Structure 1
């Protein structure tokens, strides 16, 4: 029993079970691609009979384009160039060495097609099938009919075009860039790794034809985020927050607000009501923007004079500069739940509440301090 279990683990399926969404999207895409190829053939027959026809490797191309679009083997260059160069090479082989046995022709055709695809960075598994298909049909092909290149190239390109449109409509990424040089490469992820570093990792583990550098970067970034999230899952926001609060009220004079910003290196102040519930925030930048707008008319006055000598209709209290609260969490919320929000939002602080009452704030400095403590 143990032997059978071990054998199954080694020889059984490796890929994870697909979701119903992925299963439906892939099967519909493949069906749509083949159906449109048939329509294109029918349309061409009205003008040039038998110019286009279905060939078996096109089904394999459809599987790659619609089921594994992120694979380098499924990219447009690989699909079109891989199939075309394999067909062209095999036709040349049949034209020059037709007397050779089928075994020799099949060996030379498939092996040579793989070499050419690798050299052109266009490896595409159906390309090997194209080469073998032409050898198996050699008796019907001789003398060589060069028009056979047309259906291979045209239908491969049509499958790619359908794939681009279909994946874009589904909101899925298909087209992947490749690096031309170190000068033109761009960062692939939030990691401290360049695209060249990611490509070297793929080559080190022989995965260059399974993943793109961008895919690898996304996987590493997601793994890193999950690892940090798991480590922070046992730490609550209440344990991380800064409880020594500096707060203001809606009727706090702007003179006092400016004094707080002057004495403390903070970028925003939370606004609370009489019960201590968070109702808004005042940004340091908003206060100084307002002061700057009045600079030309009173440029020789001090900060305090500008505030004291304001007109009755001007800004006077925190209420006039207050913005709505941006983000808040309960104090028992795990810190791991905040990582995505902190990464995707440029927030000054995250308010920590006990019910509706403000009990603390979390800044990026608090998060960094917590991460450093966990790593010690």
Structure 2
């Protein structure tokens, strides 16, 4: 029998090794300190809850238990998964109490159904349905409902004591312990409201909504946490891609250079024609001797005062015809000699401090034999950052 392709694609392939590998448990990605934290939390939480309920119960202990077994599962969620939507206070208290009432109702229905198995199943299914409707889905709630039916517990007061009291005390212990050990609890399930949300954030929210709607399964993580995890993962991927970028990958290779003896008029003409802000100064072996920038021209022309700006600049770059000159005539006389350079295999991230805080706008890149092979500008850097952030662009 041949099934339609859209149905056959959803059926498990029992003969596939990948299907059987799904039974293999995943490694818990927490360190020893976190393991000890959650184990100690469960110990303290159950002990304090049981102790207080024991003291509060008094005469009621003669006929009612003072601690319910499903609370152990609740402790796993509260202390091991404090960020889970199923571990939040309303989920614990509401889920357990509502399920207890549902199970108690199921006990009364056993006589009508004439089947304890059916009554137990209906109690658990109804508890799950109500927890979903009231936003308090709590897995131990299913066990609480089942416990009521199997134990034949008919008293509605059992939902208040011990079930609800157990749950409240465990939540209080969770609030104190989790926050003391730097695990926010209760954990915010909805993203904080912001006056202005960027277009990118709105698109990410819309994409998440669409993916979750298509996934159509209960997730043990809030949408806000999922968004934060995605953002952190994207940032780490961005850092990794950027860490692999070398100077040779982004440098400008079409170089315009001058020499020590290049007249200032020629150097100024090159800056204007090429619309660039700096010219490397090289010797005959193409090694860096200095760099000349617009700032060097302004300093040499004493343009810190704007009065007479044009006249001062023209006077500086104009070539003197006589054998004697009282002003600089060639590039080597005004260039910056102390130049920061970088090797072509140096990582780009190492240059970020130079551009960000040292005021550098151009960094010459040298290769074999200390010869100039390229130049990295702020524009090159910005373009590289953009490609790392959006490699598909």
Deviations 1:245-267 (A, max 9, x none): 9899xxx9xx97797xxxxxxxx
Match of 1:204 among 214, 217, 239: 214
Change (3 A) 1:334 1:157: farther
Map of 2:356 onto structure 1:
349
Question: TM-score with structure 1 length normalisation?
Answer: 0.62
Q: Report matched runs for 1:363-374 at 5 Å.
A: 366-372=381-387
1:13 Cα deviation after fit: 0.5
1:109 alignment partner in structure 2: 123
Name which of 172, 183, 186 aligns with 1:161: 172
Cα deviation, 1:231-289, whole Å, max 9, x if unaligned, reads 222224797699959899xxx9xx97797xxxxxxxxxxxxxx99699xxxxxxxxxxx
Q: How many residues align?
A: 294
Q: 1:208 to 1:6 in 2, by over 3 A?
A: closer
Corresponding residue of 2:102: 89
Counterparts of residues 109-128 of structure 1 (less than 5 Å) = 109-128=123-142
Identify which of 71, 74, 90 aligns with 1:77: 90
Is 1:234 the counterpart of 2:247? The answer is: no
Instruction: Report if the CA contact (8 A) 1:188-1:194 is conserved.
Output: no
Question: 2:286: which partner in 1?
Answer: none
Q: Cα distance 1:145–1:172, how it changes in 2: closer, same or farther (>3 A)?
A: closer
Q: Within 5 Å, which residues of 2 pair with 1:46-57?
A: 46=58, 49=61, 53-57=66-70
CA displacement, residues 43-83 of structure 1 (integer Å, 9 cap, x when unaligned): 31458646761111000000011111222111222111111
Identify unmatched segments of 5+ residues in structure 2: 1-14, 253-276, 279-290, 307-335, 365-374
Q: Does 1:216 align with 2:226?
A: yes
1:175 deviation in Å?
2.7
Partner of 1:58: 71
What residue number does 2:185 align with? 174
- Answer whether contact 1:73 1:124 (CA < 8 A) is retained: yes
Could you say what secondary structure the match of 1:14 adopts?
Answer: coil
CA separation in 1, counterparts of 2:60 and 2:199? Answer: 49
Alignment correspondent of 2:144: 130
Residue 31 of structure 1: CA displacement?
1.0
Q: Which position in structure 2 is the counterpart of 1:282?
A: none
Task: State the distance in 2 between where 1:53 and 1:95 align.
Answer: 23
Task: Answer whether contact 1:80 1:156 (CA < 8 A) is retained.
Answer: yes
Which residue in the other structure is 1:35 paired with? 47
Gaps of 5+ in 1: 260-273, 279-328, 355-359
Aligned 8 A contact 1:69 1:173 in 2: yes
CA contact (8 A) 2:106 2:149 kept: no
Work out whether residues 44 and 52 of structure 1, in 8 Å CA contact, stay in contact via their aligned partners in 2.
no
SS in 2 for 1:175: coil
What is the CA distance between 1:108 and its match in structure 2?
1.1
Q: Is the 8 A contact 1:237 1:334 kept in 2?
A: yes
Cα RMSD (Å): 4.6
Equivalent position of 1:146 in the other structure: 157
Measured in 2, the distance between the counterparts of 1:113 and 1:198 equals 29
Aligned-pair distance for 1:336?
A: 5.8
